A = this chain, B = another copy of it.
Amino acid sequence: MSQVALSDLNAASQAEFVAALANVVEYSPWIAEQVAARRPFAGINQLFDAIKAAIQSALPDLQLALIRAHPDLADKTQRAAGLTAESNAEQNSAGLDRLSEAEYAAFERVNKAYCDKFGFPYIVCVRRHSKDSILRDFETRLSNIAKTETRRAIEEICRIAALRLDQLVAADDKLKVHGRLSTHVLDNHSGKPASGIAVELVELASLGESRVITRAVTNHDGRTDAPLISGRPLPIGRYELRFSVGKYYAERNVPMSDPPFLDEIPLRFAISEPEGHYHVPLMVTPWSYATYRGS
């Protein structure tokens, strides 16, 4: 997606500005109209704060209309037809277009319960979630009262807007909407970084199939050339990092048992802060290993 410079937005006509930012909030150009009057903006954070203020200070009816303008998460038909391009891309990122039967049934059930209770669609910033965590979020939010839930929906709309703005607008400052997941393999048998180790990052799913998100190989410094996830929020969820250490030691003729005591090592952990930095290293010998949440 090509970006527009903040300076150009500051200099644009009201109509141009509104056109550029119209879909930052789903089908709600009135927000961009209101924000246009606050120009110029010193940075993208200031622009986002203006958008957020416009949303949060809107009258209850307008907020409700805003919420209702959002697509129904579990309506596969609607996803195929009437979503904005932005919305469609976001929802696919969590794997919502690859639901197993059990997952589909679970989504249907909680989504119907949600709409029945609140009378408006469930809104969540999908890019900050995995399928599992959306289901957990549904359960948590279903127990809210309507007033709390309206506030939560508005929060999520703001998070979605932040991510869209981050993709759309180029500025000197950055919105804090991205996280980073990285790893590092230290070979404590040789006292050196472990290079050439195959690493897989797997998103674990309770109901459907777990899926490999990233495959990489450690470089001479024991790291992957790029972070395992970066440039986007880290989806809340459970993961497994899998390291092929048996092969690594076999190639270096390190004495091992047969089969090797350690071969593929799984490190299982959860991500709870989409904008956080997670460093999950592996310190390893053919007979021991350790990990920790690093930074």
A residues neighboring B (CB under 8 Å): 133, 136, 186, 188-193, 221-222, 236-238, 257-266, 268-270, 272-273, 283, 285-295
Contact = CB atoms under 8 A, between A and B. Distances in A.
Contacts of A273: 257
B238 A259 contact: yes
Contact of A269 (B262, B283, B295): B262
A263 B268 contact: yes
Given A257-B270, A270-B260, A221 B295 contact: yes
A193 B276 CA distance: 13
Contact of A293 (B191, B258, B290): B191
Q: How many copies of the polypeptide does the oligomer hold? A: 4
B272 A192 contact: no
Contacts of A289: 290-292
Contacts of A191: 257, 261, 285-288, 292-293
Contacts of A264: 268
A186 B265 CA distance: 20
B266 A266 contact: yes
Contact of A287 (B190, B238, B287): B190
Given A259-B272, A270-B261, A290 B290 contact: yes
Contact of A288 (B193, B236, B292, B295): B292
